[in-house]
């Protein structure tokens, strides 16, 4: 099993450009999450999907949209990238989205917005 995979690994954008970060998991998990990690800030939740067909905002959703394409895939879209969105983005998944579960993380996408 590959676990949680993310593409691309690294991306450079110009301000105003759009892009979609892809995430897929092969563990048959119901819940998926998008986090961003900034220096000196720790990881913060952007959006999550409790199950296929549902999405909800996390702590820092502004400037992002998400799509739960199917049970395996959860994408994060930046419609008009801003320098403040320069960050490392992590996708994670958990089996049922229950409070007591562990989340499994992907390797991250490093995004630089110029």
Partner 1 sequence: KQEVTQIPAALSVPEGENLVLNCSFTDSAIYNLQWFRQDPGKGLTSLLLIQSSQREQTSGRLNASLDKSSGRSTLYIAASQPGDSATYLCAVKGYGGSQGNLIFGKGTKLSVKP
Count Cβ atoms below 10 Å from residue 88 Cβ, excluding itself: 16
In the complex with partner 1, the residue whose CB is nearer, 81 or 97, is 97
Is residue 49 within 8 Å of residue 74, measured between CB atoms?
yes
Beta carbon of residue 36, minimum distance to partner 1 (angstroms, whole number): 11
Residues at the interface with partner 1 (CB under 8 A)? 4, 31, 33, 40-45, 48, 50, 56-59, 90, 92, 94, 97, 99-100, 102-108
Least separation in angstroms between CB 28 and partner 1 = 17
Minimum Å gap between C-beta 16 and partner 1 is 28
- Apex 55 CA angle, 10 and 6, nearest 5: 20
Q: What distance in Å separates the CA atoms of residue 11 and residue 4, rounded to the nearest whole number? A: 19
């Amino acid at each position: 099993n590959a676990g949680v995979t993310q593409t691309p690994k690294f991306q450079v954008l110009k301000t105003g450009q759009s892009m979609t970060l892809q995430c897929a998991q092969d563990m048959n998990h119901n819940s998926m999450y998008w986090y961003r990690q900034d220096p000196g800030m720790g990881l913060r939740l952007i959006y999550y999907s409790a199950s296929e067909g549902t999405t909800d905002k996390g702590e820092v959703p502004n400037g992002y949209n998400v799509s739960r394409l199917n049970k395996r895939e959860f994408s994060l879209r930046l419609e008009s990238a801003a320098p403040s969105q320069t960050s490392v983005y992590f996708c994670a998944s958990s089996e049922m989205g229950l409070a007591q579960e562990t989340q499994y993380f992907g390797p991250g996408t490093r995004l630089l917005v110029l």
